[in-house]
Amino acid sequence: MTIDLSAGERPAPATPDRARTGTLIEARALSKRFGDRVAVDSVDFSVGRGEAFGFLGPNGAGKTTTMRMIGCVSPVTSGHLRVLGMDPTVDGPRIRARLGVVPQADTLDTELSVRDNLMIYARYFDIPRRAARTRIDELLDFVQLGDRGSEQVEVLSGGMKRRLTIARGLINDPEILLLDEPTTGLDPQARHLLWDRLYRLKQRGTTLVLTTHYMDEAEQLCDRIVVMDKARIVAEGSPPQLIERYSTREVLELRFGGGDEPPVDGAAFEGLAERVEVLPDRVLLYTADGERTTAAVHGRGIVPASTLVRRSTLEDVFLRLTGRMLVD
């Protein structure tokens, strides 16, 4: 694998007006409509070189459509989009030549071998056969499929197919790798292996743009996140920033025995926490200091069956911003 050392070491510019060479993707008022349906509604974001950037959001929020516009396969309805400094409307093929894409579905030819899948894809980038063969060997080792090259894709496990799809996305040594829900449907082992590979790519300076609805994935991989909901961007920041802005440091979870409803209504907790959420089986108190709040709860004579103090996570942020209602 070629290692681009210069790229990864560039410090992330602090101001939004970052150096032009440092911004690989820039979107302003970017929108996409399918007939009457607005899939992406005037979003603004920019991704810097070497960054790992995540789109977080429930199903149908517009993440995939945004990714497809960045990938220059879905025409922009309105707004401004520049990828690698070029306009997708004019320079689609030239931009795509420098992108790697890992689509949501593996989209592999399952009747062909692992190697054939990669070779065909390499030819689409006009990579000469000899160079492609070397590259394929490297990539198969990188995704730990070195001994599977001649096998038919059909027989591979879900995790292996996913790794193959990632190898395919890297065939042209892309400057930006777009990953649409890279680990959906994988078992924990396969997910951790993938995260490890993606982390290595990031270390080598590849810019990662990914969508996910796994919070742990976003926290593990992303330097910066935008949360999308109903076609719009509703929040942006690093995972710690988002937690600080939209949640509290800790969350106190109180469970009450028996019954479907908590025996105490929300008003009983007034003044104890920054925010109180009463769920069917438990009460969540968002607070800076869980222990102190626990004591205060007991002080009011409320006796829950169990208490748990935990740190706030991105999941708390996500649920706060996008709600607990099922969307699909």
- List contacts with another protein (CB under 8 A): 34, 71, 73-75, 92-94, 96-97, 99, 101, 103, 105, 107-112, 116, 120-121, 123-126, 168, 172
Question: Nearer to another protein by C-beta: 12 or 105?
Answer: 105
Tell the smallest beta-carbon distance from residue 151 to another protein (Å). 14
Question: Nearer to another protein by C-beta: 114 or 285?
Answer: 114
Q: Quick one: 88 exposed, middle or buried, by C-beta within 10 A (0-12, 13-18, 19+)? A: buried
Residue 156: φ, ψ to 5°? -75, 155
Tell the smallest beta-carbon distance from residue 93 to another protein (Å). 4
Question: Nearer to another protein by C-beta: 45 or 121?
Answer: 121
Asked whether the CA dihedral 267, 269, 274, 278 is positive or negative, the reply is negative
Task: Please name the residues in contact with 282: beta carbons below 8 A apart, sequence gap of 6 or more.
Answer: 253, 254, 255, 256, 262
Residue 16: φ, ψ to 5°? -65, -25
Tell the smallest beta-carbon distance from residue 177 to another protein (Å). 11
Report residue 310 as tokens.
């935990």
- CA dist 247 and 312 (Å) reads 7
Tell the smallest beta-carbon distance from residue 161 to another protein (Å). 11
Question: Nearer to another protein by C-beta: 206 or 293?
Answer: 206
Residue 271: φ, ψ to 5°? 85, -5
Question: Nearer to another protein by C-beta: 164 or 218?
Answer: 164
If residue 242 lies in a helix (H) or strand (E), which one and from where to where? helix 239-246
Tell the smallest beta-carbon distance from residue 253 to another protein (Å). 42
